[in-house]
């Protein structure tokens, strides 16, 4: 809980009332490796903060699973379209490592945005960050050749290469597993020469 409060404080100072309310309503959840947090077809009722661990968000097209995003320590996670519409979503959220999460449910989230202006401001800041990240991923991933996508991943989240399977990262980059393996080998050889 302390790491969540620190995360929010870094965006904007919290009033004593907001901090006290958060301590009363935020819940804690742990997940085991490969345990699902949310599944396609469910309504997302919570916004999660990752204290420890790694989550994969994916969806299925036909018989193919596509990695949509990864959420790690000090990041927030939800099936956003489902959460804000309160309709069944298409996103699966699964633990790739043992996770410690903190979450706020749908009703409490809206209560906080109405009651505490600083929480509303924090949410707008986080929303802006999510949109910028999404736009950046779109530009870097889908408008670039495979090698540039891999380079982008290396510069933005190099730790994912150690924490996520090649198959899942290939799906995230929109390339095949064989191409991913070749790119990883090529980049490793370039690093060894330096």
Query: Residue 2 — very low, low, confident or very high, per pLDDT cuts 50/70/90?
Result: confident
- Phi, psi (deg, nearest 5) at residue 12: -160, 140
State the pTM of this model: 0.90
Query: Residue 189 — very low, low, confident or very high, per pLDDT cuts 50/70/90?
Result: low
- Phi, psi (deg, nearest 5) at residue 6: -65, -45
CATH number for the domain harbouring residue 65: 2.60.120.10
Q: Is 135 part of any domain?
A: no
Q: What is the pLDDT of residue 94?
A: 97
Q: What is the SS3 string spanning 130-192? A: HHHHHHHHHHHHHCCCHHHHHHHHHHHCCCHHHHCCHHHHHHHHCCCHHHHHHHHHHHHHHHH
What angle, rounded to 10 degrees, do the helices at 16-25 and 2-11 form?
140
Q: Say if residue 35 is exposed, middle or buried (CB neighbours under 10 Å; 0-12, 13-18, 19+).
A: exposed
Q: Is 17 part of any domain?
A: yes
Query: Residue 192 — very low, low, confident or very high, per pLDDT cuts 50/70/90?
Result: low
**What residues contact residue 155 under an 8 Å CB cut-off, 6+ apart?**
none
Q: Is 84 part of any domain?
A: yes
Q: Is 139 part of any domain?
A: no
Q: Is 60 part of any domain?
A: yes
Tokens, residue 72 = 């790690």
Residue 86 is part of which domain span?
2-116
Of 12-16, 142-146, 149-153, 174-178, the least confident: 142-146
For 47-72, the pLDDT digits (tens) are: 999 999 999 999 999 889 999 899 99
Q: Is 107 part of any domain?
A: yes
Q: Is 99 part of any domain?
A: yes
For 129-173, the pLDDT digits (tens) are: 888 888 887 777 777 898 888 988 888 899 999 999 999 999 999
Number of structural domains in the chain: 1
Q: Is 193 part of any domain?
A: no
């Amino acid at each position: 809980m302390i790491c969540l409060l620190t995360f929010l404080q870094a965006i904007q100072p919290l009033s004593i009332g907001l901090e006290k309310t958060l301590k009363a309503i935020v819940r804690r959840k742990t997940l085991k490796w490969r345990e699902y947090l949310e599944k396609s077809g469910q309504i997302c009722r919570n916004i999660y903060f990752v204290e420890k661990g790694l989550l994969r968000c994916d969806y299925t097209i036909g018989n193919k699973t596509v990695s949509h995003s990864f959420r790690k320590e000090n990041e927030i996670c939800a099936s956003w379209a489902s959460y804000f519409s309160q309709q069944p979503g298409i996103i699966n959220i699964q633990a790739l490592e043992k996770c410690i999460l903190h979450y706020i449910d749908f009703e409490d989230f809206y209560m906080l945005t109405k009651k505490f202006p600083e929480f509303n401001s924090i949410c707008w800041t986080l929303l802006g960050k999510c949109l910028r990240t999404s736009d950046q991923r779109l530009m870097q991933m889908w408008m670039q050749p495979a090698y540039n996508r891999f380079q982008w991943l290396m510069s933005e989240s190099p730790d994912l290469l150690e924490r996520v399977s090649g198959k899942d990262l290939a799906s995230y980059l929109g390339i095949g597993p064989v191409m991913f393996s070749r790119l990883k080998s090529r980049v490793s050889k370039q690093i060894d020469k330096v």
